[in-house]
């Protein structure tokens, strides 16, 4: 019986210690995200079309749950959904309305200090993911 109590206490301690090492993502992060070809970016030299867009993420973590918003060049804020934090890894989804279609974008990131290296893919769309890095806002 004592052994069982000891093992339960040890397991609780380990779980608590692992949670304590979750990445600190709270706050604002900014990133220059490469524009998709054929979108606002277009090919290089296409009439001055922007080749990247600046986005701002605002995150709040509570345990393994991640909440927050993303805002782009137009300033429109979009809530993130299904946000998760596990160690130094974060993930979340953003739903965007384009014409009459809803697109779900999946973001996966690896936190390292004041930097998050992201990949972004679109659910149901067969194209390579975008990669970009966000910096913690000072």
| CA geometry: angle 60, 64, 68, nearest 5 deg | 25
For the stretch 6-36, pLDDT in tens is 544 544 555 444 445 578 999 999 999 887 6
CATH superfamily of 23-136: Quinohemoprotein amine dehydrogenase alpha subunit, domain 2 (2.40.128.120)
Q: What is the DSSP letter of 127?
A: S
Output phi, psi for 47, to 5 deg: 60, 30
Judge contact between 90 and 116, C-beta under 8 A: yes
CA–CA dist 15, 87 (Å, integer):
12
Show Cβ contacts of residue 42 under 8 Å, excluding neighbours closer than 6 positions: 35, 49
For the stretch 71-84, pLDDT in tens is 988 778 999 999 99
Comparing 50 with 17, the larger pLDDT belongs to 50
Q: Enumerate the domain spans of the chain.
A: 23-136
């Amino acid at each position: 019986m004592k052994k069982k109590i000891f093992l339960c206490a040890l397991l609780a301690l380990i779980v608590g210690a692992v949670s304590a090492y979750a990445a600190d993502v709270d706050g604002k992060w900014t990133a220059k995200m490469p524009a998709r070809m054929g979108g606002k970016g277009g090919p290089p030299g296409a009439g001055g079309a922007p080749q990247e867009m600046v986005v701002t993420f605002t995150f709040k973590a509570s345990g393994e749950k991640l909440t927050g918003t993303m805002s782009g060049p137009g300033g429109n804020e979009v809530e993130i959904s299904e946000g998760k934090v596990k160690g130094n890894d974060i993930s979340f989804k953003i739903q965007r309305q384009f014409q009459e279609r809803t697109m779900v974008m999946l973001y996966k990131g690896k936190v390292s200090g004041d930097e998050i290296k992201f990949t972004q893919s679109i659910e149901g769309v067969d194209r390579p993911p975008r990669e970009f890095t966000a910096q913690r806002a000072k």
